[in-house]
Amino acid sequence: EILLTQTPAAAAVERGASVSVRCQSSSGVVNNLAWYLQKGTESPKPLIYAATALHTGVSSRFSGSGYGTDFTLTIIQPEDYTVYYCQSGLKPTLLKPHCSI
């Protein structure tokens, strides 16, 4: 089982600023890591796959980096209240670790 630890659990960000969310894996997942966002009661929306690749239609305000066990999602000018999730693509699991911004 792969354990993902996401930090911070929550962050308050001023308008126009940027924020980074870190996701650490208990086991090396190479670049098989995805990021999602969820607003309110909407379904999670895929942002990034393969650690760094943006899904079609996703704003360039989002970027992903990392390899192995340590990954980062950077968001420029976050909008409103949003929850972000990371997920290992090697063994998909429920979207549990998260960061609320």
Handedness of CA 18, 82, 43, 99 (dihedral sign): positive
Amino acid at 43: S
pLDDT at 26 over 80: yes
Q: Residues 7, 72: contact at Cβ < 8 Å? A: no
Structural domain boundaries, residue 91: 4-100
pLDDT at 58 over 50: yes
63 three-class SS: strand
Q: Residues 36, 46: contact at Cβ < 8 Å? A: yes
pLDDT at 13 over 60: yes
Please give the tally of structural domains in the chain.
Answer: 1
CATH code for position 23: 2.60.40.10
pLDDT at 92 over 50: no
**Residues 6+ positions from 45 with CB-CB distance below 8 Å:** 36, 37, 38, 39
Residue 81's pLDDT is: 78
Q: Which two tokens stand for residue 27?
A: 């086991």
pLDDT band at 90; cut points 50, 70, 90: low
The count of C-alpha atoms lying within 13 angstroms of the C-alpha of 101, restricted to the half-sphere facing its C-beta, is 26
Average of per-residue pLDDT values in the chain: 85
